[in-house]
């Protein structure tokens, strides 16, 4: 599956966290002296533009970005230390556009998939202006040559290919310049205490004979990002993020993998979770893992379902959020589910949705999709996407639509990728809210009314993915972790496993009949065309009159023949 047609949001980020470039921005910082790296970038930008704007083809826009990253990671498994590392590096990306704002070298050619990766290079971490300028000069020259070759292909395609209405939109938007220079941030991490913590946390998991593997990973990121462009933007801002992730794996008797995840996120070292809080979460994860090992499988089902807040948040991220990303509306290979529906009712009239990256927290819980400026140097904006069920607009980068010529600060990317419109903090609200207990009773009433033996309660979720390209069905899949059967006859709820939520967006969104009154937060990482970016989704619990679930993909491998050594009474070699 090509990235163009598949987008995924994941709770676990042990692997992709290392490469992620965007994190919580420190907004409102006081103006600081211009750092040396920004001086070097601006001097070389001015020199390059003076020459390349007169070249053939002429450059009309150049931007440079330097990401200066400090990163620490401590990881443990099954009571022992796996890794303990600390690194610092700088990454330079230069974008050189030739042609015009209307038509330039980045114009998508209909007969080929675009390249989503963005060339870049490592640069020195010393604040040596002459050396930095030399490296920026070399990279700018490389990108100018590549842009010139690309523009020739674009102009040729214009003569032989039919252009769609949205394909005639400008390739790049004109934006106001912004100057914001904040103080440099640094993180100082003592890894020794965390080395002991990850040993203790994972050793606690190993006390259960059902646990095959456990991992605890602490990560700390300090990012200083510098951006300049020929429109006059100059940005320097710092970002920090600390995270603890817990992961446990088991295997049911029939071979199905059982996985449980948990994470803690914070900005200030003093806000790290204490051991009591972490061990309490570990005990819950162990209990759920052991129960899921013994839980029965569920056959494919279509009927009433209630999604608690975290599950509902991922549901909206997958089913709606990706289809509201602006660049999908102008790509002929995309399904364009909502392209022509601005001003139309697409959700029940009690549902409203906004994406607001400017919000740093909700009820003192941090939102991972918070940032001050996007990766194209545009300030983050609160965007009302749906108002009482009516679609109002799309999330926009600097790739305009015919009727939406400007960015609204959602051009995002992982380092090494081209920015496109992406979600930040997707926040769902409802004017038809009841308590979660009342919502559960409405679920039971729907089960009875439809003559079903039970409904489903989706209580926790791993993530999901969606297909947005027109070569595949316009479908989504959400991956539950904890699912209960709720019986109409009053029997106790029954924990079950082995189901994934599936459906199509236009139908599924209209099946929402009520919501709870307590929003919940899903913090995770979304992988799509522009790489993995941190996101949050916020939603109350939702009641859906008809939801379809299918059997989950599973393994045929049996559990280990022997129990873990520490839980084997026949093992005479235990110490």
Cis check for the bond before 503: say yes or no (omega within 30 of 0): no
Of 262, 256, 261, 298, the C-alpha closest to 495 is: 298
User: Beta 512-516 vs 433-434: how paired, if at all?
Assistant: parallel
Contact 260, 284 (CB under 8 A): no
How far apart, in whole angstroms, are the C-alpha atoms of residue 76 and residue 247?
A: 11
pLDDT (0 to 100) of residue 31 = 64
pLDDT (0 to 100) of residue 491 = 93
pLDDT (0 to 100) of residue 168 = 80
| pTM: predicted TM-score of the whole model, two decimal places | 0.89
If phi over 0 gives left and psi between -120 and 50 gives alpha, with beta otherwise, what is residue 536?
beta
CA distances from 313 to 10, 59, 262, 429, 501 (A): 12, 43, 16, 11, 14
Q: Along the chain (575 residues), what's the average pLDDT of each consecutive run of 10 residues?
A: 40 33 40 89 97 96 97 97 97 96 87 70 96 97 94 79 69 96 94 98 95 96 97 95 95 88 92 97 95 90 91 91 88 71 95 97 92 96 97 96 94 92 97 95 96 92 61 65 91 90 82 95 89 95 91 72 77 59
The domains of the chain, with CATH numbers, are 31-251+253-294 (3.30.2290.10), 301-551 (no CATH)
- For the chain, the straight-line distance linking the first and the last C-alpha, in angstroms and rounded, comes to 49
Contact 464, 9 (CB under 8 A): yes
- Residues in the chain, how many? 575
Contact 226, 237 (CB under 8 A): no
pLDDT (0 to 100) of residue 482 = 87
pLDDT (0 to 100) of residue 29 = 44
How far apart, in whole angstroms, are the C-alpha atoms of residue 20 and residue 533?
A: 6
Alpha helical stretches, state H, 430-557: 436-449, 505-510
pLDDT (0 to 100) of residue 155 = 87
Contact 483, 457 (CB under 8 A): yes
How far apart, in whole angstroms, are the C-alpha atoms of residue 310 and residue 524?
A: 11
Distance of CA 72 to the CA centre of its chain: 21
pLDDT (0 to 100) of residue 564 = 83
pLDDT (0 to 100) of residue 574 = 56
Helices 129-160 & 36-52 angle (0-180, nearest 10): 40
Rounded to 5°, the CA angle 274-278-279 comes to 115
User: Beta 365-366 vs 301-307: how paired, if at all?
Assistant: unpaired
């Amino acid at each position: 599956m090509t990235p163009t047609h598949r987008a995924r949001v994941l709770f676990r980020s042990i692997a992709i966290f290392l490469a992620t470039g965007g994190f919580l921005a420190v907004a409102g910082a006081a103006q600081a002296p211009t750092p040396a790296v920004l001086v070097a970038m601006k001097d070389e930008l001015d020199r390059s533009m003076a020459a390349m704007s007169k070249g053939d083809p002429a450059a009309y826009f150049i931007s440079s970005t330097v990401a200066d990253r400090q990163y620490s990671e401590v990881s443990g498994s099954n009571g022992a230390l796996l890794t303990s590392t600390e690194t610092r590096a700088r990454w330079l990306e230069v974008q050189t556009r030739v042609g015009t704002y209307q038509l330039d070298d980045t114009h998508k050619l209909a007969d080929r998939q675009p390249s989503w990766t963005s060339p870049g290079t490592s640069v020195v971490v010393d604040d040596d202006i002459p050396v930095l300028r030399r490296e920026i000069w070399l990279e700018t020259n490389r990108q100018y040559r590549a842009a010139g070759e690309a523009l020739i292909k674009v102009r040729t395609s214009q003569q032989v290919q039919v252009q769609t209405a949205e394909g005639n939109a400008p390739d790049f938007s004109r934006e106001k310049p912004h100057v914001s220079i904040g103080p440099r941030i640094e993180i100082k991490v003592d890894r020794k205490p965390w080395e002991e913590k990850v040993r203790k946390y994972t050793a606690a998991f190993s006390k259960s004979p059902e646990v095959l593997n456990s991992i605890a990973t602490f990560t700390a990121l300090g990012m200083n990002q510098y951006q300049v462009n020929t429109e006059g933007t100059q940005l320097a801002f710092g970002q920090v993020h600390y995270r603890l992730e817990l992961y446990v794996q088991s295997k049911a008797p029939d071979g199905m993998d059982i996985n449980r995840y948990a994470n803690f996120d914070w900005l200030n070292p003093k806000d790290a979770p204490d051991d009591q809080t972490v061990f309490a979460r570990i005990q819950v994860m162990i209990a759920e893992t052991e129960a899921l090992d013994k839980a029965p499988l569920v056959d494919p089902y279509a009927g009433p379902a209630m999604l608690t807040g975290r599950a509902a948040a991922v549901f909206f991220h997958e089913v709606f959020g990706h289809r509201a990303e602006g660049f999908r509306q102008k790509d002929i290979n995309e399904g364009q589910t909502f392209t022509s529906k601005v001003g139309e009712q697409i959700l029940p009239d009690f549902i409203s949705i906004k994406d607001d990256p400017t919000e740093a927290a909700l009820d003192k819980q941090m939102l991972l999709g918070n940032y001050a400026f996007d990766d194209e140097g545009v300030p983050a904006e609160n965007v009302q996407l749906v108002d009482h069920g009516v679609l109002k607009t799309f999330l926009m980068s600097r790739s305009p639509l015919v009727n939406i010529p400007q960015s609204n600060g959602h051009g995002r990317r992982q380092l090494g990728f081209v920015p496109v419109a992406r979600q930040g903090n997707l926040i769902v609200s409802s004017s038809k809210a009841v308590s979660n207990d009342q919502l559960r009773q409405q679920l039971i009433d729907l089960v009875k009314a439809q003559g079903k033996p039970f409904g489903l309660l989706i209580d926790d979720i791993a993530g999901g993915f969606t297909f947005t390209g027109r070569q595949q069905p316009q479908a989504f899949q959400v991956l539950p972790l904890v699912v209960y059967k709720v019986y109409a006859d009053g029997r106790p709820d029954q924990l079950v496993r082995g189901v994934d939520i599936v459906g199509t967006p236009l139908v599924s969104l209209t099946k929402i009949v009520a919501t709870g009154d307590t929003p919940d937060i899903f913090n995770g990482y979304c992988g799509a065309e522009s790489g993995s970016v941190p996101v949050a989704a916020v939603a109350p619990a939702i009641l859906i009159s008809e939801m379809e679930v299918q059997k989950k993909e599973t393994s045929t491998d049996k559990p280990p023949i022997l129990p873990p050594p520490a839980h084997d009474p026949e093992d005479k070699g235990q110490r």
